[in-house]
Chain A
Amino acid sequence: MSKIINGLKYSETHEWVKIEGDIAIIGVTDYAQKEMGDITYVDMPDAGEVVEKEEEFGALESVKASSDLFSPVSGTVVERNDALEDAPELVNEDPYGNWIIKVQMRNPAELDELMDAEGYRDMIGE
């Protein structure tokens, strides 16, 4: 059983979003980190870069795979989690405690298109 946290928003591509005002804090779900296995690298955009909803903004790498990360919202990256640079394993250890980027949202209405915890649980079929 993968951990799913109530109160977060979820995308079909396994990113979670926590909302703080007009900032969206984005990470990957427990389900996603388990599917990837040992994460060896998190490719993240720099602060100031523009991300678009459903477009890739980075990637997770393991020894034998690479999986793109898709932004659940559109906006501008205000911060990236530099701790992941040297310790990508943090995503495996605590996927909800270790966010990847923070995005200043351009269109908060996009959040409505995301799933809640219930919806995400149904989607992954657990």
Chain B
Amino acid sequence: MLDRVGLPSLEGLYSDVPERFIYSKEYDLPEAMTEQQIREHFEELCSRNSKLKIFAGAGAYDHYTPAVVPYLASRSEFSTAYTPYQAEISQGTLRYIFEYQSLICELTGMDISNASMYDGPTAAAEAAMMALSCTKRKSKVLLSETLLPQVREVVRTYAGYHGIEIGMIAQKDGQTSAEALAEALEGGDVAGVILPSINRFGIIEDLSGFADAAHAAGAVAVCYCDPSALAVVRTPGEWGFDIAVGDGQSLGLPLCYGGPSVGFMACRKDYVRKLPGRIVGQSVDAQGKRCFVLTLQAREQHIRREKATSNICSNQSLMALYVTIYLSLMGPAGLRKVNEVSAFKAHSLREKLLETGLFENVFDKPFLKEFVLKPLCDPNKLHKALLDKGFFGALPTEEGYVSFCVTEKRSAGDIDKLIETLKEAQL
């Protein structure tokens, strides 16, 4: 090969690199491992992680992943493909993304979905920027205090650099305050408001009138939601919101220490040109056969450069496939059941926790799988007592409450053991 290139040695391939930039020292890396050594090394690393009974959520939910999901998604025709630029040999990817978009639209009640984003918080940040471009010449975005902390922080980070002013909407009794929103909107200049459908206390927010208030002020209404729960709670579309965002992790993705997850983003039809990210559309091929292609690409960075709707290039395609397969298996009945079983167990845990006398009720609001209580003891000690017995729960919140979450994966026995643990602990 070198002969063809006309060089005596591999080093000649770098003759265009100034010599001082060629790294001549030994790389400070371990010696190469064999496959078996790698496996053993990872097993050893795993042994220093504790597999806990997860009784917490806060944006990452331990729902059951059916065996079919990873089995199919790990087919290498899916996993080792690139972005489907060559539609003729990418119909598999393009079709499942089209299905994914359809499913997200159906869950959120929106008209259009993109092909997915990195995670929920970054999708919310993209929505904040999108609100600005939908409203022109406005520069403020309002966030509800009841949004998850990671959502607020990521939006704040993006906003700070993008030149978006952030205002907070206070909460009252565990739900975004309509009065606070009205007051914040009065200041004017508001491009968008971001509110949760189910908030960080686990409460299903009553969003009546919120979208109208935003629209009356000329602002875009964005709803941050848990897509799993959208099978049973009022959708952003039904509430009259313009954009729905959130994290798809609750739809069959393993926790995996927080990533990869998948963000989703859907909107009203008339905002389609403002929607960031990839979009797949249906078309026909030269012979009239139905086919699918990446479309509306003139919005994107590789064509629009600095005028693009966003800098995002990739989606989280393979995780969107997880979501698509998961939703196909579950169907409307299964997804409802997941919510039902989780909610039933969560309410049972809450009742039993209150019975221990270690907690006080905080909010009397409807919830599904997640809730907060006020501990009558040191929240950190409480958390630690559970951890020592292999439970991950009672996550301390900003207000000094502790939050719990129960999914369908936890058994009645697990719940009883958790309660036993608390009773036995010296709190």
Chain A residues with a Cβ under 8 A of chain B: 40-41, 43, 59, 61-66
Q: B304 an interface residue at 8 Å Cβ cutoff?
A: yes
Q: Give me 19 A-to-B residue pairs in the complex whose CB atoms sit less than 8 angstroms apart, sorted by A's number.
A: A40-B298, A41-B273, A41-B296, A41-B298, A43-B273, A59-B298, A61-B298, A62-B298, A63-B297, A63-B298, A64-B297, A64-B298, A64-B303, A65-B298, A65-B303, A66-B298, A66-B303, A66-B304, A66-B307
Q: Using a CB-CB cutoff of 8 Å, which residues 279-320 of chain B contact chain A?
A: 296-298, 303-304, 307
In the complex, the chain A residue whose C-beta lies closest to that of B293 is A63
Complex contacts, A41 vs chain B, CB 8 Å: 273, 296, 298
Complex contacts, B303 vs chain A, CB 8 Å: 64-66
The CA-CA distance from A90 to B248 in the complex, in Å, is: 41
Chain B residues with a Cβ under 8 A of chain A: 273, 296-298, 303-304, 307
In the complex, the chain B residue whose C-beta lies closest to that of A61 is B298
Known contacts A41-B273, A43-B273, A65-B298, then 15 further A-B pairs from the complex at CB < 8 Å, ordered by chain A residue:
A40-B298, A41-B296, A59-B298, A61-B298, A62-B298, A63-B297, A63-B298, A64-B297, A64-B298, A64-B303, A65-B303, A66-B298, A66-B303, A66-B304, A66-B307
The CA-CA distance from A38 to B298 in the complex, in Å, is: 13
The CA-CA distance from A41 to B279 in the complex, in Å, is: 16
CB distance from A62 to the nearest CB of B (A): 7
CB distance from A45 to the nearest CB of B (A): 10
The CA-CA distance from A48 to B161 in the complex, in Å, is: 31
Complex contacts, A43 vs chain B, CB 8 Å: 273
CB distance from B273 to the nearest CB of A (A): 7
The CA-CA distance from A66 to B304 in the complex, in Å, is: 7
In the complex, the chain A residue whose C-beta lies closest to that of B303 is A66
Residue among B297, B298, B303, B304 having the largest count of chain A Cβ atoms under 10 Å = B298
Complex contacts, A66 vs chain B, CB 8 Å: 298, 303-304, 307
CB distance from B209 to the nearest CB of A (A): 27
The CA-CA distance from A63 to B299 in the complex, in Å, is: 10
Kindly list the 3 A-B residue pairs having the minimum CB-CB distance in the complex, ordered from nearest: A61-B298, A66-B298, A66-B303
Complex contacts, A65 vs chain B, CB 8 Å: 298, 303
CB distance from B208 to the nearest CB of A (A): 30
The CA-CA distance from A66 to B296 in the complex, in Å, is: 11
In the complex, the chain B residue whose C-beta lies closest to that of A45 is B136
In the complex, the chain B residue whose C-beta lies closest to that of A40 is B298
CB distance from A48 to the nearest CB of B (A): 12
In the complex, the chain B residue whose C-beta lies closest to that of A68 is B307
In the complex, the chain A residue whose C-beta lies closest to that of B272 is A41
The CA-CA distance from A38 to B66 in the complex, in Å, is: 45
The CA-CA distance from A117 to B265 in the complex, in Å, is: 48
Complex contacts, A40 vs chain B, CB 8 Å: 298
CB distance from A114 to the nearest CB of B (A): 25
Complex contacts, B307 vs chain A, CB 8 Å: 66
Complex contacts, B297 vs chain A, CB 8 Å: 63-64
The CA-CA distance from A63 to B296 in the complex, in Å, is: 7
The CA-CA distance from A63 to B281 in the complex, in Å, is: 12
Complex contacts, B296 vs chain A, CB 8 Å: 41
The CA-CA distance from A64 to B300 in the complex, in Å, is: 10
CB distance from B311 to the nearest CB of A (A): 16
The CA-CA distance from A62 to B299 in the complex, in Å, is: 11
The CA-CA distance from A65 to B303 in the complex, in Å, is: 6
Complex contacts, B273 vs chain A, CB 8 Å: 41, 43
Complex contacts, A64 vs chain B, CB 8 Å: 297-298, 303
CB distance from B300 to the nearest CB of A (A): 9
The CA-CA distance from A27 to B298 in the complex, in Å, is: 20
The CA-CA distance from A40 to B303 in the complex, in Å, is: 14
In the complex, the chain B residue whose C-beta lies closest to that of A43 is B273
CB distance from B125 to the nearest CB of A (A): 24
CB distance from B307 to the nearest CB of A (A): 8
The CA-CA distance from A93 to B181 in the complex, in Å, is: 49
Complex contacts, A62 vs chain B, CB 8 Å: 298
In the complex, the chain A residue whose C-beta lies closest to that of B295 is A63
The CA-CA distance from A59 to B308 in the complex, in Å, is: 12
In the complex, the chain B residue whose C-beta lies closest to that of A63 is B297
CB distance from A51 to the nearest CB of B (A): 14
The CA-CA distance from A41 to B296 in the complex, in Å, is: 9
CB distance from B2 to the nearest CB of A (A): 38
CB distance from B65 to the nearest CB of A (A): 38
The CA-CA distance from A63 to B295 in the complex, in Å, is: 8
In the complex, the chain A residue whose C-beta lies closest to that of B302 is A64
CB distance from B319 to the nearest CB of A (A): 27
The CA-CA distance from A61 to B272 in the complex, in Å, is: 14
CB distance from A109 to the nearest CB of B (A): 28
CB distance from A80 to the nearest CB of B (A): 15
The CA-CA distance from A41 to B307 in the complex, in Å, is: 16
CB distance from B409 to the nearest CB of A (A): 46
CB distance from A41 to the nearest CB of B (A): 7
CB distance from A27 to the nearest CB of B (A): 20
Complex contacts, A59 vs chain B, CB 8 Å: 298
Complex contacts, A61 vs chain B, CB 8 Å: 298
